[in-house]
A and B are shown apart, each in its own frame.
Chain A
Amino acid sequence: DGGITQSPKYLFRKEGQNVTLSCEQNLNHDAMYWYRQDPGQGLRLIYYSQIVNDFQKGDIAEGYSVSREKKESFPLTVTSAQKNPTAFYLCASSTELSSNQPQHFGDGTRLSIL
């Protein structure tokens, strides 16, 4: 079945450490997104990518970085510059970068600070 796979499901970060969250999709979608979810705040857009080798900052990109070297993959790195990284991170994809395209979501990665 086609879908989006996020790994790991749980991740712990030490102070000063960078960690990378994996997102892989086999839906043949061009557009991919990373969201951060905090209780009571809905989803906030971190980065998005319209196509391979292209990505743009979303609303809360500070302290995060991404790459899009392959169509299927859109990993997110949470850097040590992100001072409050504890959250639930969701990866999504859509056929194209347009707000009229439904987004398909992975099952998320929960990141916590040790």
Chain B
Amino acid sequence: AQSVTQPDIHITVSEGASLELRCNYSYGATPYLFWYVQSPGQGLQLLLKYFSGDTLVQGIKGFEAEFKRSQSSFNLRKPSVHWSDAAEYFCAVGRANDYKLSFGAGTTVTVRA
């Protein structure tokens, strides 16, 4: 079975500061990796995905994520946070020949002025 861990339940960051959200997974082979963002009372929006190739992927809204096989991690980063980035962020993992995505419990990001 695969599992997804987002170690940080809540992160507070100042506007303009950098942000890094952690995601670790347990799965033997290279998984399919996703980051989603959810604003309050809304559905999830895809930020970026990784399947293979370049381990640094660019997404929407200025986000990027890096796949590190040795650490089983897929951390999300943004160099300079805007107040509109306050939301909940979910990491999701899928595996080959499967239909299912496993979601982490989410990290809530608060942006202070």
Interface residue ranges, A against B (CB under 8 Å): 4, 6, 31, 40-43, 45, 48, 50, 58, 90, 92, 97-100, 102-108, 110
Q: When the two chains form their complex, are residues A108 and B32 in contact, meaning their CB atoms are under 8 A apart?
A: no
Q: Provide the bound-state CA to CA distance between A43 and B106, in Å.
A: 9
Give the size of the chain B interface in residues (CB under 8 angstroms).
25
Q: How far is the CB of A25 from chain B (nearest CB, A)?
A: 12
Q: When the two chains form their complex, are residues B43 and A108 in contact, meaning their CB atoms are under 8 A apart?
A: yes
Residues of B within 8 A of A48 (CB): 99
Residues of A within 8 A of B100 (CB): 45, 58, 99
Q: How many residue pairs at the A-B interface have CB separations less than 8 Å?
A: 59
Q: When the two chains form their complex, are residues A108 and B45 in contact, meaning their CB atoms are under 8 A apart?
A: no
Q: When the two chains form their complex, are residues A90 and B44 in contact, meaning their CB atoms are under 8 A apart?
A: yes
**Closest CB pairs A-B (n = 5):** A99-B94, A105-B43, A42-B103, A43-B103, A105-B44
Q: List 30 A-B contacts (CB under 8 A).
A: A4-B43, A31-B99, A40-B9, A41-B105, A42-B103, A43-B44, A43-B90, A45-B100, A48-B99, A92-B43, A92-B44, A97-B99, A98-B98, A98-B99, A99-B32, A99-B94, A99-B95, A99-B96, A100-B51, A102-B34, A103-B44, A104-B46, A105-B43, A105-B44, A107-B41, A107-B42, A107-B43, A108-B42, A108-B43, A110-B41
Q: Provide the bound-state CA to CA distance between A97 and B95, in Å.
A: 12
> Given A42-B90, A99-B94, A100-B94, are A108 and B99 also a contact pair (CB < 8 Å)?
no
Residues of A within 8 A of B51 (CB): 100
Say whether B13 faces chain A, with CB atoms less than 8 Å apart. no
Q: Which of B4, B41, B90, B99 contacts A99 (CB 8 A)?
A: B99
Q: Provide the bound-state CA to CA distance between A90 and B88, in Å.
A: 15
